[in-house]
Structure 1
Amino acid sequence: MIDITRRLALRGIAAGGAAAIAGCAGGDGNGDGDGTDSDGGDSRKPIERTVQRVGAPLSGPAWDRRSRRGFCTLIEAERDANWLFEDAPEETRAFVSETDFERAVVVYVESVGPTTCHSEISFDDVAVDGGTLTASARVEDTSAVDEGCGQAITYPAAMVRIESDPRPESVRLQVTNGWGETGTVRDADGVMDPDALPGDIRPGGEPNAIPASFDCPTEGFERHPQVYEGAVNWGGGAGLDGGDGNDTDGDDGSDADGSGAGGTDGAPGPLALRVVTPDGPLSRGDSFRIELTNVSDRPTHVGNQGKYNLELRTEGGWTEIRGTDGEGLFGYTDEALGVDPGETLTWEFEMTESGLTASGPHADDLRVCPDLVPGRYRFVFWGGDDLAVAFDYVG
Structure 2
Amino acid sequence: MIRRTRRAVLCGLGAGGVAALAGCTSEGDPGTGGGSDGGDGDNSDPDPETAVHQVGGPLSGPAWRREERRGLCALITEESDAAWLLREAPAETVAFVEATDFDESVLAYVESVGPTTCHDAVSFADVAVEDGTLVASAKVEGPGDETVACGQAITFSGAFLRVTTDSRPESIRVSVTDGWGETSEVTGEDGVRDPEALPGGVRPDGDPEALPASFECEREGFERHPQAYDGEVDWGGGGGVGGDDGGDTGTGDRGPLALRAVIPGDDDPASEPLSVGRGTAFRIELTNVSGREVHVGNRGKYNLEILTEAGWTEIRGGDEDATFEYTDEAIAVRPGETLAWEFEMTEEGLVEGGPHADDLHVCPDLVPGRYRFVFFGADDLAVAFDYVG
- Scaled to the shorter chain, the TM-score interval is 0.7 to 0.9
CA pair 301-53 structure 1, distance change in 2 beyond 3 A: same
Task: Confirm whether residue 304 of structure 1 aligns to residue 305 of structure 2.
Answer: no
Q: Find the counterpart in structure 2 of residue 373 from structure 1.
A: 367
SS at match of 2:317: strand
Structure 2 CA distance for aligned equivalents of residues 234 and 128 of structure 1: 40
- Contact 1:71-1:186 within 8 A present in 2 as well: no
Quote the residue 1:214 is aligned against: 215
Amino acid at match of 2:127: V
Q: Give the counterpart of 2:323 among 322, 329, 342.
A: 329
Q: What is the aligned counterpart of 1:271 among 257, 275, 278?
A: 257
Q: CA deviation at 1:300?
A: 2.0
Secondary structure of the residue aligned to 1:324 is strand
The separation in 2 between residues aligned to 1:304 and 1:69, in whole angstroms, is 33
Distance 1:105 1:14 in 2: 16
Q: In structure 2, how many angstroms separate the alpha carbons of the residues matched to 1:233 and 1:42?
A: 39
Q: 1:13 to 1:158 in 2, by over 3 A?
A: closer
1:363 corresponding residue in structure 2: 357
Name 2:50's counterpart in structure 1.
Answer: 49
Q: In the TM superposition, what is the alpha-carbon distance from 1:374 to its structure 2 partner? A: 0.8
**Does the 8 Å CA contact 1:120/1:142 hold for their aligned counterparts?**
no
Counterpart residue type for residue 269 of structure 1 = G
Query: 2:166 and 2:311 mapped to 1: Cα distance?
Result: 55
Give the distance between the partners of 2:80 and 2:159, measured in 1 at CA.
19
SS at match of 2:254: coil
- Does residue 351 (structure 1) correspond to residue 352 (structure 2)? The answer is no
Q: Is residue 58 of structure 1 aligned with residue 59 of structure 2?
A: yes
Change (3 A) 1:186 1:267: same
Q: Is the 8 A contact 2:280 2:344 kept in 1?
A: yes
Deviation at residue 243 of structure 1 after TM alignment: 5.1
Cα distance between partner residues in 2 of 1:390 and 1:161 = 46
SS in structure 2 of the partner of residue 216 of structure 1: coil
Question: How far off is 1:75 after superposition?
Answer: 2.2
Contact 1:15 1:54 in 2 (8 A): no
Give 2:201's aligned residue.
200
Q: Which residue pairs with 2:36 in the alignment? A: 26
Find the counterpart in structure 1 of residue 170 from structure 2: 169
Q: How many residues align?
A: 354
Corresponding residue for 1:340?
Answer: 334
**Unaligned regions of 5+ residues in structure 1, if any?**
1-11, 31-35, 246-264
Which of 313, 331, 334 is residue 307 of structure 2 equivalent to?
313
> For the structure 1 residues 287 and 329, does the alpha-carbon distance in structure 2 shift closer, same or farther, using more than 3 Å as the test?
same
- Separation of aligned partners in 2, 1:172 and 1:15: 13
**1:131–1:266 Cα change, 3 Å:** closer
CA contact (8 A) 1:235 1:266 kept: no
In the alignment, structure 1 residue 94 sits paired with structure 2 residue 95: yes
Structure-2 separation of matches of 1:377 and 1:203 = 10
Q: How far apart in 2 are the matches of 1:184 and 1:374?
A: 50
For 1:111-150, what aligned pairs fall within 5 Å after superposition?
Answer: 111-150=112-151
Contact 1:290/1:348 (<8 A) preserved: yes
**Identity score, percent:** 61
Please list the CA deviations of residues 135-168 of structure 1 after superposition, one character each: whole Å capped at 9, or x if unmatched: 2222122321443433221123221011222422
Report if the CA contact (8 A) 2:256-2:288 is conserved.
Answer: yes
Counterpart in the other structure of 2:230: 229
- C-alpha contact (below 8 Å) 1:234/1:267 kept by paired residues: no
Tell me whether 1:393 sits opposite 2:379 in the alignment: no
- TM-score, reference length from structure 2: 0.82
How far did 1:379 drift?
Answer: 0.4
Aligned to 2:196, the other structure's residue is in SS state helix
Q: Does the Cα contact within 8 Å between 1:381 and 1:387 map onto a contact in 2?
A: yes
Answer yes or no: is the 8 Å Cα contact 1:303–1:334 preserved in 2.
yes
User: Per the alignment, in what secondary structure is the counterpart of residue 96 of structure 2?
Assistant: helix
1:288 positional shift:
1.0
- Quick one: which amino acid aligns to residue 110 of structure 1? E
Alpha-carbon separation, structure 2, partners of 1:142 and 1:187: 30
- Segments of 5+ residues of structure 2 without an aligned counterpart are 1-20, 266-271
Map 1:182-193 to 2 at 5 A: 182-193=183-194
Q: Which amino acid aligns with 1:339?
A: V
Pairwise CA distance, 1:342: 2.8
**TM-score normalised over the length of structure 1:** 0.81
Conserved 8 A contact 1:121-1:156: no
CA contact (8 A) 1:310 1:377 kept: yes
> CA separation in 2, counterparts of 1:310 and 1:296?
26
CA distance in 1, matches of 2:146, 2:291: 38
Q: Helix, strand or coil: the match of 2:95? A: helix
Task: Pick closer, same or farther for the CA change 1:196–1:226 going to 2, 3 Å.
Answer: same
Maintained 8 Å contact 1:132/1:171 = yes
1:159 is matched with which residue? Answer: 160
Asked if the contact 2:203/2:384 (under 8 Å) is kept, the reply is yes
What does the per-residue CA deviation read over 1:362-389, in whole Å, with 9 as the maximum and x for residues that have no partner? 2222111221111111101000111111
Q: Distance in 2 between matches of 1:299 and 1:15?
A: 23
Q: CA RMSD in A?
A: 2.8
In structure 1, what is the equivalent of residue 70 of structure 2? Answer: 69
* CA deviation after TM superposition for structure 1 residue 81, in Å: 2.1
Q: What is the letter of the counterpart of residue 274 of structure 1?
A: R
Shift of residue 305, structure 1, vs aligned partner: 0.9
Query: Deviation of residue 390 (structure 1)?
Result: 1.0
The residue type paired with residue 272 of structure 1 is A
